[in-house]
Amino acid sequence: MNDTQDGGAMINLKNWFSSPCFDRTLKLGRLEVQARMRRNDGFMGRFGGGWNWELGFQIGGRCLLINLLVMSVRFVYTEEK
């Protein structure tokens, strides 16, 4: 069932998350680059939590995530096997 009822309001679960515009991944040796852009048509926004705009970067372990207002670019350095 796709719809839930909460206090008389109907929420369509298909519209909970935004739909993707594009999602591209490029591998350059051990570096993986992913560019992702989502539409702002979902209840949770482009970036989740209701956020449609985000500017900045996040660093953790082997990953660098750069948010460019309407899209994000992720750089991941993978380990040699």
The pLDDT tens digits of the residues spanning 20-55 come to 788 999 999 999 999 998 888 877 877 777 788 889
Cα 29 from Cα 70, distance rounded (Å): 28
pLDDT given at position 1: 44
Q: How many CB atoms lie within 10 A of CB 8?
A: 5
Residue 70 pLDDT more than 80? yes
Q: Which residue has the higher pLDDT, 76 or 4?
A: 76
The pLDDT tens digits of the residues spanning 3-18 come to 445 555 566 666 777 7
pLDDT given at position 13: 63
The owner of tokens 């206090």 is 7
